[in-house]
Every structure is written in structure tokens, then in C-alpha cells.
Amino acid sequence: MRWLITGGSGFIGTNLAGHLVGRGDDVVVVDDLSRGGSELNAAFLRREHALEVNRIDVSDTAALGAFLAAQDSFDAIAHLAGQVSFLASLADPRRDFEVNALGTLNVLEHVREHSPHTVVVGMSSNKVYGDLSHVAFVEEATRYVAPDYPNGFGEDLPLEFHGPYGCSKGTADQYLADYGRMFGLRTASLRQSSVYGPHQHPRSDQGWVAHLVGEALAGRQIALNGVGKQVRDLLHATDLARLFVALAESVEPGVGYQLNVGGGMGNDLSILELFAWLAERTGQEVDFVTGPTRPSDQLVFVSDNVRVGELTGWSPQVTLEAGLTALLESSAE
Ligand SMILES: NC(=O)c1ccc[n+]([C@@H]2O[C@H](COP(=O)([O-])OP(=O)(O)OC[C@H]3O[C@@H](n4cnc5c(N)ncnc54)[C@H](O)[C@@H]3O)[C@@H](O)[C@H]2O)c1
């Protein structure tokens, strides 16, 4: 298959590119290299996979259009380029909109006009569901739980776009679905929860597990937002890479899939549970202080993967224990 990966020298993109090259697929990478660490990933892609990164801003309609016009058409596009930080979206809502919403529209317009057979898979977010304040949560010793959702959250949750990031990711999600419905394209929007794995260059506002593991190993005191009982499911980047291939093979035209995707029940943990796991593994307690919660933070998000599983046959294979152990070992290097 022939692939375009936008945001291809980001964390998820680098993992996906490696997976696709390993399959023998043809891969073209676009990235504006705005993310700290993306230069390192670009060097890795060049060295390990002989891939060059084409430096293009997906919100630059003319530049992206000219680049794509010069390319042979793609079987599938993994549209990963994004403004990824909720906090950065509060600081600069316009740029957040340009990258996430306009960037997605630019990709979709190219496909509509020039290659309607191409599968487009975009990355949305569980933030399209807002703060979930309508859900009844119970506080337990180490975590919050949502007893009414024993299998996690499905796509029937009401949409509530909170913050510029929620609005731009929600907008992209709606455009992806609607270009499927209205123009008969083959699109899917992944309402993605937390992803972890190699090639991530975490910051305090994105890549929380790798960030906390790094801070803990460095022996720094960690200032938490909230009391540390927030729960997320974790999906390993190699599992997500396999999903992209499964979607490229199963997304039908005219539907516009919107899919919750995550590690799911069993691959979920709270910050306090991560700290307990780290203390057991390293023999060193994590030094932390609690603080006020972040605006619009969900107390729990665990994805119910049933819809994506039915469509593709995919399910996560990397257990939390295996993925966290690998992360700990690579962080300690
Ligand atoms: N990692 C997660 O847990 C997670 C969760 C939900 C959604 N997502 C989404 O998945 C996608 C990939 O995430 P990631 O974790 O790999 O993030 P990342 O920051 O590592 O990768 C994003 C890449 O996009 C590039 N980029 C940013 N703006 C661009 C622009 N205007 N034009 C071209 N390239 C641009 C960056 O340089 C970076 O290399 C993003 O859209 C993100 O919002 C990620």
C-alpha cells in the first residue's frame, strides 16, 4: 500500500512509519517539525527507514496542495499532524484551529477533489466528550470509577466540545464523518485516548505517562493537577499502528466512522496507581504534591473499543504491564 502520514515525525507517526516500512509499504511523510523532538524522530526515520520528512505545514492550504498535487495518489492517509496540547489551545486558540480544523479540511478537500478512493484516518480525541460532568463517579482509595460504564465509554456519549482544543478536534471529527457521508469518501475519525510507547518526547501537558515516569526517575517532585485518582486507558503505539492498517483495509465509502479507540478496560490506571507501580519496580517512592484540577479534566476516560473491534477485528495486544516495563527501561537508559 502507498501511505501519506501527516505529522509523520511525531510520536505516533514515527511508530506508524516504522510499522508500515516493515510491511514493505510505500510511505511519504509530511511534518512541519514544530514539535520538540520531531527533529530527532526525523533523523531516526532517515537513519533507520530511509524516509525523508517533507517540511510542510498542513494549515498552509497552498503549500500542502502543491505538494500533494505532485504526488502519485495514496491508498491511505494517516492524518496525524496536530496541535496536541489543551493548554496551548487556551493560549493560542487561532493557531489551534488552523492546525487541527483547517489542516484536516485541507487534507479532506484534496482527497475529495483528486483521489476519492483514498482512505483518510484522522486523530480526534476523547476531549470531544467534554468533562463528563453528567457521569456519576465514585471516589475509591486509588482511583475514580464510573460504575454505570463497566465496559468503558462508547460513542453514544453526548458531544461537548470543551476548550479550543476540544472545539478544533471536534470540528475535525465532524468534517471527517461528514466527508464520508456527503461525498462518499472512505473516512474514519479516531476519538483517541492516551497513547504511549517509544519515540514520544513528552511534556507536562502531553504524554502524561512518559512525562511522569521521567520526572519520577529524575527524582523531581511532581506537582499534580488534582489528587492523582484520574483514570485513563493506555494504548501502546505499536497497537495503534496495527489499527491503521486494519482500518485501511476495512473502512467503507459513504459512512464516515467515528470510533472510540484506546487501551480499553484492563489497560487503565490512575496516576496514584502508576506511582505505586513505579515504587514497587524502582524501590523508590515518587515525591508528589496534589493541587487544583485542570479545567475540564475528565475524572475517568476508558474507551469501549467494541465498535472499532467489530469493524476491523482489531484489539490491543500489548498489556499495560509489558508496555510500562518497556517504557521504564527506555526511560532509565
Ligand atoms: N498521543 C496521544 O495520546 C494522543 C491522544 C489523542 C489524540 N492524539 C492525536 O494524535 C496525533 C498525533 O499525536 P502524537 O502524540 O504523535 O503528537 P506529536 O506532537 O508527537 O506529533 C504531531 C506531529 O505533528 C506535527 N505538526 C504539528 N503541527 C503541524 C502542522 N501545522 N503541519 C504539519 N505538521 C504539524 C508536529 O511537528 C509533530 O511531529 C495528534 O493529532 C494528536 O492530537 C494523540
Question: Of ligand 1's atoms, which has the minimum distance to the CA of residue 98?
Answer: 31
> Average model confidence (pLDDT) for the chain?
96
Q: How is residue 212 written as a grid cell?
A: 511522569
pLDDT score for 12: 98
Give me ligand 1 centre to Cα 84, in Å.
5
| Percent residues over pLDDT 70 in the chain | 100
Provide mean pLDDT across the span 166-194: 97
Indicate if 165 belongs to the active site: yes
Q: 194 CB under 6 A from ligand 1?
A: yes
For residue range 2-48, list pLDDT tens digits in order. 999 999 999 999 999 999 999 999 999 999 999 999 999 999 999 99
pTM of the model: 0.97
Q: 61 CB under 6 A from ligand 1?
A: no
Q: 271 CB under 6 A from ligand 1?
A: no
Query: Is it the case that residue 205 has pLDDT exceeding 80?
Result: no
Q: 57 CB under 6 A from ligand 1?
A: yes
Report yes or no: 300 and 231 within 8 Å, Cβ to Cβ: yes
Give me ligand 1 centre to Cα 307, in Å.
24
* Domain count for the chain: 1
Query: Is it the case that residue 110 has pLDDT exceeding 90?
Result: yes
For residue range 243-259, list pLDDT tens digits in order. 999 999 999 999 999 99
Q: How is residue 324 written as a grid cell?
A: 510500562
CATH number of the domain residue 128 falls in: 3.40.50.720
pLDDT score for 204: 75
- What is the spatial distance between Cα 318 and Cα 316, in angstroms, rounded to a whole number? 6
Residues spanned by the domain of 96 = 2-332
Mutate to test the pocket of ligand 1, among 33, 84, 208 (most ligand atoms within 8 A of CB): 84
Band (pLDDT 50/70/90 cuts) for residue 206 is confident
Give me ligand 1 centre to Cα 139, in Å.
32
Q: 34 CB under 6 A from ligand 1?
A: yes
Q: Which residues contact 331 (CB under 8 A, 6 or more apart)?
A: 210, 213, 214, 217
Give me ligand 1 centre to Cα 145, in Å.
29
- What is the spatial distance between Cα 251 and Cα 260, in angstroms, rounded to a whole number? 15
Q: Take atom 21 of ligand 1 and give the residue whose Cα is closest.
A: 10
Q: How far is CA 305 from the centre of its chain?
A: 15
Provide mean pLDDT across the span 111-126: 97
pLDDT score for 53: 98
Band (pLDDT 50/70/90 cuts) for residue 296 is confident
Give me ligand 1 centre to Cα 36, in Å.
11
Q: 84 CB under 6 A from ligand 1?
A: yes
Question: Of ligand 1's atoms, which has the minimum distance to the CA of residue 14?
Answer: 16
For residue range 37-92, list pLDDT tens digits in order. 999 999 999 999 999 999 999 999 999 999 999 999 999 999 999 999 999 999 99
Report yes or no: 77 and 121 within 8 Å, Cβ to Cβ: yes
pLDDT score for 202: 85
Q: 173 CB under 6 A from ligand 1?
A: no
Band (pLDDT 50/70/90 cuts) for residue 295 is confident
- What is the spatial distance between Cα 207 and Cα 293, in angstroms, rounded to a whole number? 17
Provide mean pLDDT across the span 311-331: 96
Mutate to test the pocket of ligand 1, among 4, 5, 9, 12 (most ligand atoms within 8 A of CB): 12
Considering 129, 144, 149, 165, which one is annotated as catalytic?
165
Q: Residue 31 class from Cβ within 10 Å (0-12 exposed, 13-18 middle, 19+ buried)?
A: buried
Q: Are strands 26-31 and 53-55 parallel, antiparallel or unpaired?
A: parallel
Mutate to test the pocket of ligand 1, among 35, 44, 261 (most ligand atoms within 8 A of CB): 35
Mutate to test the pocket of ligand 1, among 68, 80, 240, 261 (most ligand atoms within 8 A of CB): 80
Give me ligand 1 centre to Cα 142, in Å.
30
